[in-house]
């Protein structure tokens, strides 16, 4: 088992558990009417963005010497390719369902069906923006300064959007996306602590997890959101110092991403009249699992084909 999978296995477990958090907050869970158990469901995608930022920097460094448009193409391809089947299947299904919603509430229905795609959309836009900035800013110090300023500015913008100083509340998703990904990239520049006898990161992670869980039950305030994102960032930093897990947790992480995307599919079924939450949850997990199995066999086929060519 590679060190990478061992090192990041715990992050995959977080992603899987946070996906359940989102499912619970949107009522697609074993129990009906679970909305409100966690008061800040949008913080789960924030954590995904912190993790994405952490890995994005490594991907950008691999493409440091590529021409900008080629680097952007390769970065976007690396993120879209594993989910290509999911994106095509859900998009076609939802567009077909859209034709069935030709009535007064069509706009509201469209929002419900496609609202889960904002995570993917913002991620792809952020990838392009950060890669362009990375190519323009030639020095490591300059890029670290750029990321630090971005975190500060996006936090301030989020505050003004949340408090109504700037009357475009929906833009806070964009601000939080850029701020969280910047924080995630900054983690990569912080030297990892070296432990000779005992890894104290284990203790810190064990403390952070219940603290985050307790904060999730509090009323949503700007302070709560900022604190959660700061703790998410700390959790990612210390977690990547812990060797944990293997292939099983990698599968959990991939499954979590697909479960999130298939919420859009499940929402369409809900609008069509299938309102049993338990059945919707089973459909979500089943489709996500099927998607992952198909992608795994596709990878094996491509690997076998490449080997045969050699």
**pLDDT over 80 (residue 200):** yes
**36 Cα distance to chain centroid:** 21
Which are the contacts of 195, defined by CB distance < 8 A and separation ≥ 6? 201, 241
As a whole number of angstroms, the distance between CA 170 and CA 205 comes to: 32
Task: Say what the pLDDT of residue 5 is.
Answer: 46
Taking alpha carbons only, the member of 57, 81, 67 closest to residue 144 is 57
Instruction: Give the chain's mean pLDDT.
Output: 81
Question: Cβ distance 45 to 172 under 8 Å?
Answer: no
Crossing angle between the packed helical segments 3-25 and 222-239, to the nearest 10 degrees: 160
Report residue 186 as tokens.
């900054």
As a whole number of angstroms, the distance between CA 184 and CA 175 comes to: 14
Confidence of residue 41 (pLDDT cuts 50, 70, 90): low
**pLDDT over 70 (residue 62):** yes
3-state secondary structure of 1: coil
260-281 residue pLDDT tens: 888 888 888 887 778 788 888 8
| 1 or 289, higher pLDDT | 289
Vertex 45: Cα angle to 26 and 248 (nearest 5): 95
149-195 residue pLDDT tens: 999 898 888 878 777 777 776 677 788 888 889 999 998 888 877 77
- 247 Rama sector, left if φ>0, alpha if ψ -120 to 50, beta otherwise: alpha
Confidence of residue 287 (pLDDT cuts 50, 70, 90): very high
């Amino acid at each position: 088992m590679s060190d990478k999978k061992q090192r990041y296995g715990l992050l995959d477990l977080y992603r899987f558990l946070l996906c359940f958090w989102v499912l619970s907050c949107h009522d697609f869970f074993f129990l009906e009417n679970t909305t409100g158990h966690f008061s800040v469901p949008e913080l789960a995608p924030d954590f995904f963005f912190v993790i994405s930022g952490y890995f994005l920097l490594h991907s950008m460094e691999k493409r440091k010497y590529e021409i900008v448009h080629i680097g952007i193409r390769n970065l976007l391809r690396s993120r879209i390719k594993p989910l290509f089947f999911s994106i095509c299947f859900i998009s076609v299904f939802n567009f077909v369902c859209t034709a069935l919603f030709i009535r007064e509430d069509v706009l509201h229905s469209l929002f419900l069906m496609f609202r889960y795609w904002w995570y993917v959309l913002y991620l792809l836009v952020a990838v392009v923006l950060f890669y362009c900035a990375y190519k323009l800013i030639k020095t490591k110090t300059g890029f670290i300064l750029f990321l630090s300023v971005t975190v500060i500015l996006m936090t301030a913008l989020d505050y003004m959007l949340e408090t109504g100083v700037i009357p475009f509340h929906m833009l806070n998703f964009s601000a939080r996306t850029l701020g969280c990904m910047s924080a995630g990239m900054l983690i990569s520049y912080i030297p990892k602590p070296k432990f000779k006898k005992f890894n104290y990161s284990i203790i810190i992670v064990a403390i952070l997890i219940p603290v985050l869980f307790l904060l999730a039950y509090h009323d949503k305030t700007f302070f709560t959101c900022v604190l959660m994102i700061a703790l998410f960032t700390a959790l990612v930093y210390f977690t990547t110092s812990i060797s944990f897990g293997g292939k099983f947790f990698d599968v959990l992480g991939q499954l979590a991403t697909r479960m999130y995307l298939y919420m859009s599919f499940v929402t369409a079924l809900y609008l069509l009249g299938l309102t049993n939450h338990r059945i919707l949850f089973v459909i979500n997990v089943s489709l996500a699992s099927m998607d992952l199995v198909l992608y795994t066999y596709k990878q094996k086929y491509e690997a076998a084909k490449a080997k045969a060519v050699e």
